[in-house]
Amino acid sequence: MRAGVALLALGALAACSSPNMGDPRAQALLAMPAPQHYAERQVARELAGQCLAYAYDEQLGDAMSEARLRSGGQVYLQVKGATDVEADIKRRSLVARYAGNDACRILDGETAAQTPMSVMVRKRG
């Protein structure tokens, strides 16, 4: 009984700390063509790895992958080459927009602008 209550509490905490699939940013990310979708997620993961203030939301990423698979969308391995090109374009675009490659500054800006990529990261603490 106590284990069930603990699991329920953990589930509620996870739901509070992580945006869900109903978030408009998540829906916008899901609606993107596969190469662009996976590039956004790839760059978000890279930036979060370079900035200790942010964490990448693996649970949301997994949920998005499952949703794409269920809807018959292309999976990452089918579009890896195109995703690599899109990710390079995204990186260059962000460096130009934020006048440098400071990952924390980029993520702060993307989060403030509520871009689709920002749904994949969250502030730590």
- Token pair, residue 71, equals 């809807």
Residues 12-40: b if buried by 16+ CB within 10 A, e if exposed: eeeeeebbeeebeebebbbeeebbbbbbb
Binning pLDDT at 50, 70 and 90, where does residue 61 land?
very high
pLDDT reading at 11 higher than 60: no
| Radius of gyration for the alpha carbons in the chain, expressed in angstroms and rounded | 15
> Average pLDDT in the 25-31 region?
96
Which stretch of 14-18, 69-73, 116-120 has the lowest confidence by average pLDDT?
Answer: 14-18
Binning pLDDT at 50, 70 and 90, where does residue 3 land?
very low
Predicted pLDDT at 28: 97
> Average pLDDT in the 59-65 region?
94
Where are the domains positioned within the chain? 20-123
**Mean pLDDT over each residue of the chain, to the nearest integer:** 87
Query: What are the tens digits of pLDDT across the range 77-109?
Result: 899 999 999 999 999 999 999 999 999 999 999
